[in-house]
């Protein structure tokens, strides 16, 4: 499933700029065969027909937009199904990358104009938790005895309210949600027998945090890419004449400190990413052992040859996390090409890391 839920964070920010509007969220809840996106993938439709994201690279969006208009009018969720493998279905072009059955949930979503039993009051809370780097866990009924749209949200360390009047149902859903939250999976669509209803469970993840040590000219194209691909990018360099908004307009934070000072005074976020691009051997040698004093990053990329990295003598505990030289081996030359190789490796690692941590256990037998 990869990291699709961190997309949600980006959409929340876009939608919040239009806080007088409401939207329709489309989520892939089931896929049989092949499709352009996997279950849990999401996109949004605006009132003006504007689309945010994609689910099928053009196969489905036009028809989904028609259904989304209906959902905006009624403010009632609906599930639509497509059989993209059918030879009789003349709507979908051949060779589009979709060749399976796909089930999509459409639901009203926004900050305003949504009745109290929908998700309006929770959005500012969810946004705050994501801003704080916390994951949100959601259970939502789709169809069955429990009213469609019944939703409960929680994070690892605080309960977020849900609109459920029946306390027995609420307690059972909270219990299932806590069970889901420790599985490590991002999305599940399931039928719960004792509640006689279909539910989706999802984890909405904050952006991954990327710390880049160094602010040389070769870091500029890297930050442009990482900021665009849902990494919260933090650049640390003592040189204020380099580490500033003129050179890094898209960085989320710019910190004018020596790396060793920053690492001694600040706590790195859990499962964060680190790239070391200082071009300073002695400074790099100081950075690596200091990383051990934090929640170890899941990824450490080091600019320079493998031989140079070996001379840095990184702590053994970090060896399996180090990528050196940083970036995929695509024969890249020059800062722009190298930045693409780095971004490609970050995307590849993020997908693999997410799949590795996903325990393939059924939530409800």
CB contact at 8 A, 296 and 268: no
Residues 6+ apart with CB under 8 A from 121: 161
Q: Who wins on pLDDT, 113 or 22?
A: 22
Highest mean pLDDT among 78-82, 214-218, 270-274: 214-218
Residue that finishes a domain, picked among 204, 231, 259: 204
Report the share of the chain in percent with pLDDT over 90. Answer: 50
Does 100 lie in the same domain as 48? yes
Q: How confident is the model at residue 111 (pLDDT cuts 50, 70, 90)?
A: low
Q: Is residue 365 part of a domain?
A: no
Q: What is the pLDDT of residue 359?
A: 42
Q: What is the pLDDT of residue 337?
A: 97
Range of the structural domain that residue 314 is part of = 208-353
Number of domains into which the chain is organized: 2
Residues 6+ apart with CB under 8 A from 364: 176, 190, 191, 192, 193
Query: CB neighbours (10 Å) of residue 220?
Result: 19
Q: Is residue 360 part of a domain?
A: no
Q: How confident is the model at residue 234 (pLDDT cuts 50, 70, 90)?
A: very high
Alpha-carbon gap, residue 138 to 250, rounded angstroms: 30
Q: What is the pLDDT of residue 213?
A: 98
Does 219 lie in the same domain as 196? no
Comparing 73-77, 157-161, 266-270, 329-333, the range with the smallest average pLDDT is: 157-161
Does 232 lie in the same domain as 123? no
Q: Is residue 39 part of a domain?
A: yes
Q: Is residue 10 part of a domain?
A: yes
Q: What is the 3-state secondary structure (H, E, C) of the chain?
A: CCCCHHHHHHHHHHHHCCCCCEEEEEEEEEEEEECCCCCCCEEEECCCCCEECCCCCCCCHHHHHHHHHHHHHHCCCEEEEEECCCCCCCCCCCCCCCEEEEEEEEEEEECCCCCCCCCHHHHHHHHHHHHCCCCEEEEEEEEECCCCCCEEEEECCCEECCCCCCHHHHHHHHHHHHHHHCCCCCEEEEEEHHHCEEEEEEEECCCEEEEEECCCHHHHHHHHHHHHCCEEEEEECCCCCCCCCCCCCCCCEEECCCHHHHHHHCCCCCCCEEEECCCCHHHHHHHHHHHCCCCCCCEEEECCCHHHHHHCCCCHHHHHHEECCCCCCCCCCHHHHHHHHHHHHHHHHHHHHHHHHCCCCCCCC
Please give the backbone phi and psi of residue 81, each rounded to the nearest 5 degrees, phi first.
-125, 145
- Tokens 């309960």: give the residue: 159
Highest mean pLDDT among 24-33, 85-94, 191-200: 191-200
Does 220 lie in the same domain as 200? no
Does 302 lie in the same domain as 323? yes
Q: Is residue 98 part of a domain?
A: yes
Does 183 lie in the same domain as 34? yes
CB contact at 8 A, 139 and 363: no
Does 247 lie in the same domain as 110? no
CATH of the domain at 307: 3.40.50.720
pLDDT tens for 300-336 read: 999 999 999 999 999 999 999 999 999 999 999 999 9
Please give the backbone phi and psi of residue 327, each rounded to the nearest 5 degrees, phi first.
100, 155
Q: Is residue 358 part of a domain?
A: no
Q: What is the pLDDT of residue 115?
A: 47
Q: Is residue 325 part of a domain?
A: yes
Does 176 lie in the same domain as 217? no
Residue that finishes a domain, picked among 142, 175, 204: 204
Does 154 lie in the same domain as 90? yes
User: Length of the chain in residues, anyone?
Assistant: 365
Residue that finishes a domain, picked among 150, 169, 204: 204
Residue 100 has pLDDT above 80, yes or no: no
Q: What is the pLDDT of residue 48?
A: 75
Does 226 lie in the same domain as 165? no
Does 56 lie in the same domain as 146? yes
Please give the backbone phi and psi of residue 319, each rounded to the nearest 5 degrees, phi first.
-55, -40
Q: Is residue 364 part of a domain?
A: no
Which of 258, 257, 253 is CA-nearest to residue 272? 253
Does 233 lie in the same domain as 108? no
């Amino acid at each position: 499933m990869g990291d699709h839920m961190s997309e949600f964070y980006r959409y929340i920010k876009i939608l919040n700029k239009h806080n007088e509007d409401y939207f329709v969220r489309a989520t892939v809840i089931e896929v049989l065969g092949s499709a352009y996106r996997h279950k849990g993938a999401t996109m949004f439709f605006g009132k003006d027909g504007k689309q945010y994201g994609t689910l099928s690279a053009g196969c489905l969006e036009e028809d989904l937009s028609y259904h989304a208009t209906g959902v905006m009018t009624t403010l009632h969720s609906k599930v639509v199904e497509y059989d993209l493998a059918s030879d009789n279905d003349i709507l979908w072009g051949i060779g589009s990358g979709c060749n399976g059955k796909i089930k999509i949930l459409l639901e009203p979503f926004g900050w305003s104009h949504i009745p109290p039993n929908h998700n309006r009051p929770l959005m500012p809370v969810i946004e705050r938790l994501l801003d704080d780097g916390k994951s949100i866990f959601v259970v939502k009924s789709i169809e069955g005895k429990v009213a469609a749209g019944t939703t409960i949200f929680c994070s690892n360390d605080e309960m977020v309210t849900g609109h459920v009047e029946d306390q027995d149902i609420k307690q059972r859903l909270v219990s299932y949600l806590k069970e889901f939250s420790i599985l490590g999976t991002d999305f599940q669509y399931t039928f719960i027998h004792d509640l006689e209803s279909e539910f989706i469970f999802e984890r909405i993840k904050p952006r991954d945090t990327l710390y880049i040590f160094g602010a040389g000219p070769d870091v500029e194209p890297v930050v442009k890419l990482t900021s665009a691909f849902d990494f919260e990018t933090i650049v640390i360099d003592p040189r204020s004449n380099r580490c500033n908004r003129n050179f890094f307009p898209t960085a989320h934070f710019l910190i004018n400190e020596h790396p060793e000072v920053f690492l001694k005074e600040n706590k790195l976020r859990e499962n964060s990413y680190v790239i070391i691009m200082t071009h300073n051997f002695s400074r790099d040698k100081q950075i690596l052992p200091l990383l051990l004093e934090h929640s170890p990053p899941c990824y450490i990329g080091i600019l320079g040859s493998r031989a140079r990295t070996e001379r840095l003598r990184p702590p053994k505990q970090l060896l399996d996390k180090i990528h050196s030289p940083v970036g995929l081996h695509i024969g890249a030359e020059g800062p722009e090409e190298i930045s693409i190789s780095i971004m490609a490796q970050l995307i590849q690692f993020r997908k693999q890391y997410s799949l590795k941590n996903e325990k393939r256990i059924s939530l409800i037998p």
